[in-house]
């Protein structure tokens, strides 16, 4: 039934629809095709057919957990050598998924989050110290670089009691460089025919092996230190090492712990860093929105030097700014769904068991029937409680869907809202008027080359 799904007009044998594609920006390339071909379309690459979906009705049907489930494909599958059967890359049928999910879920409960709050504040303080110094010296700040420092330190501290010293380094920590290397490599693997990959990407594959080695060694060092010290403060690593499954009594194996630590260090910071960076871009681009958000922070936090856990949840408008940024640029920009059994998608497209489609979230989030003809416009008021209630379900999916949706959602939202609040309270954000948003891709999205000039505001000590 594929013939009923539109595809690009000019096809090349073997290469299919990849010619003319921008292999450094595959997601934005897919967005272009989406605009030209409509809510469901297919692209051919290396003899395989890929189906892309972004229409609201189709995406909502794919969210039906009784008929569809996560598919580990493309970018996610390419990360298997790095993250194995860790939570993010595990196949649905792998027993370690349920085991790790049940053991780690309490690490994301409300109580656990409240416990991380003080550590998140401490890391944010390192960021503002750094930004104060840059500001005083008359320098601009490197937004994606510094947001990555912040989010890496946050997950390392709260999850693993570890300090990478990111703010004390001029260049990214080697862990970050290795991580970016593996993400970029996983993305590149999609742009060459599988069997030819070893040949075409020989040098890149060698670098990738070195990167993976670095990630493994970092993680092994971190785990060994914890085993020596005999336990942290009940953080994620303690859970991974010591907690038995509440029903079966089973524990994670040493090999699986390694995969989980890598998974959480990477998944726990890369996407949040992008989300914060896009939000700061939009705040700097729209001073009237920043002013409204800042007024809320001043009102809700008053002159409390350090906001409490509950005071973060009260920043409703700041949270809407974040949601709206994740609408336009969901930093993990796609997820794949497969049919659990033979079924018909949205009453229209027959799918055999195991057949799958990729949901293009940035396009779903711009679907004109849901978001209006002005969907490209940045407007946080799309996320007032009334506006959210008025929209059909499953139309905003930056954290994926169903059983395999993001386990770190509340963690990311709390951290990002807290940090945006602190930065809005402390600085006016000035963007070079000549800056044009360009989005870099390494499976995740990031505003490229974004720098801001800061002005200090009078704030509590
Ligand atoms: C899964 C997005 C932050 C850990 C996912 C998925 C998405 C996503 C879309 C589903 C992927 C799929 O269906 O294939 C995001 C975004 C974040 C964020 C946009 C920040 C704004 C975090 C944080 C953590 C985390 C802070 C950890 C502390 C994970 C894990 C999974 C996951 C472990 C796999 C869950 C499972 O399959 O059981 N995330 N994430 N993420 N995320 Fe996040």
Instruction: For residue range 395-427, list pLDDT tens digits in order.
Output: 999 999 999 999 999 999 999 999 999 999 999
Using CA positions, which residue lies closest to atom 32 of ligand 1? Answer: 406
At residue 180 the predicted structure's pLDDT band, cuts being 50, 70 and 90, is: confident
Looking at residue 430, its pLDDT comes to 97
pLDDT score of 460 more than 80? no
d(CA 184, CA 402): 27
Phi and psi, residue 69, nearest 5° = -145, 170
Helices (H) and strands (E) in the chain, counts: 20, 12
At residue 46 the predicted structure's pLDDT band, cuts being 50, 70 and 90, is: low
d(CA 179, CA 199): 23
Residue corresponding to tokens 């709390």: 414
User: Helix or strand or coil: residue 93?
Assistant: coil
Ligand 1 neighbour 267 (Cβ under 6 A): yes
pLDDT score of 348 more than 70? yes
pLDDT score of 153 more than 70? yes
pLDDT score of 15 more than 90? no
pLDDT score of 92 more than 70? yes
Q: Where are the beta strands (DSSP E) in 46-180?
A: 48-53, 68-70, 141-142
Ligand 1 neighbour 445 (Cβ under 6 A): no
pLDDT score of 10 more than 70? no
Residue pair 450/444 in contact (Cβ under 8 Å)? The answer is no
- DSSP classification of residue 450: -
CA distances from 310 to 237, 302, 314 (A): 26, 14, 7
Q: Regarding predicted confidence, which is higher, 173 or 378?
A: 378
pLDDT in tens, 269-286: 999 999 999 999 999 999
Nearest ligand 1 atom to the CA of 76 is: 14
At residue 428 the predicted structure's pLDDT band, cuts being 50, 70 and 90, is: very high
User: Helix or strand or coil: residue 75?
Assistant: helix
d(CA 62, CA 60): 5
The arithmetic mean of pLDDT across residues 304-311, rounded, is 94
Ligand 1 neighbour 413 (Cβ under 6 A): no
pLDDT score of 326 more than 80? yes
CA count, 13 A, side-chain hemisphere, 461: 0
Looking at residue 115, its pLDDT comes to 92
CA distances from 286 to 98, 159, 279, 280, 291 (A): 44, 35, 11, 10, 9
Least confident piece of the model among 92-101, 230-239, 318-327: 230-239
Residue pair 263/87 in contact (Cβ under 8 Å)? The answer is yes
pLDDT score of 42 more than 70? yes
Looking at residue 44, its pLDDT comes to 81
Using CA positions, which residue lies closest to atom 27 of ligand 1? Answer: 268
CA count, 13 A, side-chain hemisphere, 402: 19
Phi and psi, residue 18, nearest 5° = -85, -20
Least confident piece of the model among 20-24, 59-63, 194-198, 200-204: 20-24
Looking at residue 12, its pLDDT comes to 58
pLDDT score of 101 more than 80? yes
Averaged pLDDT score across all residues of the chain: 92
At residue 1 the predicted structure's pLDDT band, cuts being 50, 70 and 90, is: low
Element holding 40 (H helix, E strand): strand 40-45
Using CA positions, which residue lies closest to atom 14 of ligand 1? Answer: 335
Q: Regarding predicted confidence, which is higher, 13 or 378?
A: 378
pLDDT score of 13 more than 70? no
Q: Structure pTM? A: 0.95
d(CA 110, CA 116): 10
The arithmetic mean of pLDDT across residues 4-21, rounded, is 64
At residue 77 the predicted structure's pLDDT band, cuts being 50, 70 and 90, is: confident
ipTM over 0.95: yes
Residue pair 329/439 in contact (Cβ under 8 Å)? The answer is yes
Element holding 218 (H helix, E strand): helix 202-229
Report the separation in Å between the CA atom of 405 and the middle of ligand 1, taken as the mean of its atom positions: 7
Known binding residue 406? Answer is yes
Ligand 1 neighbour 88 (Cβ under 6 A): yes
pLDDT score of 448 more than 80? yes
Looking at residue 309, its pLDDT comes to 96
Instruction: Looking at mean pLDDT, say which of 86-100, 200-214, 231-245 comes out highest.
Output: 86-100
Looking at residue 179, its pLDDT comes to 87
pLDDT score of 258 more than 60? yes
Ranges of H-type helices in 245-349: 254-267, 270-285, 287-301, 309-313, 316-328
Share of the chain above pLDDT 70, in %: 96
Report the separation in Å between the CA atom of 6 and the middle of ligand 1, taken as the mean of its atom positions: 31
Q: How far is CA 152 from the centre of its chain?
A: 13
pLDDT score of 71 more than 90? yes
Ligand 1 neighbour 68 (Cβ under 6 A): no
Residue pair 85/259 in contact (Cβ under 8 Å)? The answer is yes
Give the pair of three-digit tokens for residue 454: 């800061």
Using CA positions, which residue lies closest to atom 20 of ligand 1? Answer: 272
The arithmetic mean of pLDDT across residues 70-88, rounded, is 89
pLDDT score of 132 more than 70? yes
């Amino acid at each position: 039934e594929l013939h009923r799904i539109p595809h690009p007009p000019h096809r090349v044998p073997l290469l299919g629809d990849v010619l003319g594609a921008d292999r450094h920006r595959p997601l934005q390339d897919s967005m272009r095709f989406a605009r030209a071909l409509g809510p469901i379309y297919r692209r051919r690459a290396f003899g395989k057919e890929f189906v892309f979906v972004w229409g609201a009705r189709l995406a909502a049907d794919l969210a039906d957990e009784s008929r569809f489930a996560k598919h580990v494909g493309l970018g996610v599958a390419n990360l298997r050598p790095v993250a194995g059967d860790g939570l993010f890359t595990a196949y649905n049928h792998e027993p370690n998924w349920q085991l790790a999910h049940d053991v780690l879920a309490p690490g994301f409960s409300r109580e656990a989050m409240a416990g991380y709050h003080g550590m998140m504040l401490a890391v944010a303080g390192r960021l503002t110290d750094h930004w104060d110094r840059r500001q005083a010296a008359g320098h601009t700040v490197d937004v994606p670089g510094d947001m990555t420092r912040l989010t890496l330190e946050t997950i390392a501290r709260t999850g693993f009691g570890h300090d990478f010293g990111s703010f004390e380094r001029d260049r990214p920590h080697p862990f970050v460089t290795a991580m970016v290397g593996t993400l970029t490599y996983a993305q590149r693997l999609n742009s060459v025919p599988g069997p030819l990959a070893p040949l075409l990407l020989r040098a890149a594959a060698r670098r990738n092996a070195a990167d993976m080695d670095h990630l493994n060694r970092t993680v092994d060092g971190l785990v060994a230190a914890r085993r020596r010290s005999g336990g942290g403060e009940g953080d994620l690593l303690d859970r991974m090492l010591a907690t038995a499954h509440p029903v079966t009594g089973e524990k994670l194996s040493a090999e699986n712990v390694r995969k989980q630590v890598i998974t959480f260090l990477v998944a726990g910071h890369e996407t949040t860093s992008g989300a914060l960076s896009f939000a700061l871009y939009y705040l700097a681009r729209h001073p009237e929105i920043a002013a409204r958000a800042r007024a809320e922070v001043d009102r809700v936090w008053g002159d409390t030097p350090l906001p409490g856990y509950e005071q973060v949840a009260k920043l409703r408008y700041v949270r809407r700014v974040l949601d709206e940024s994740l609408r336009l640029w969901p930093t993990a920009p796609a997820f794949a769904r497969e049919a659990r059994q033979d079924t018909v998608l949205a009453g229209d497209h027959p799918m055999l068991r195991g057949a799958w489609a990729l949901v293009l979230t940035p396009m779903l989030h711009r679907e004109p029937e849901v978001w209006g003809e002005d969907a490209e416009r940045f407007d946080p008021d799309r996320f007032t409680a009334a506006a959210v209630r008025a929209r059909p379900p499953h139309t905003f999916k930056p954290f994926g869907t169903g059983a395999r949706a993001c386990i770190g959602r509340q963690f990311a939202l709390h951290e990002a809202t807290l940090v945006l609040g602190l930065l809005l309270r402390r600085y006016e954000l000035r963007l070079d008027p000549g800056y044009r948003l360009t989005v870099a891709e390494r499976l995740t999205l990031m505003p490229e080359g974004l720098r801001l000039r800061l002005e200090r505001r009078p704030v509590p000590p």
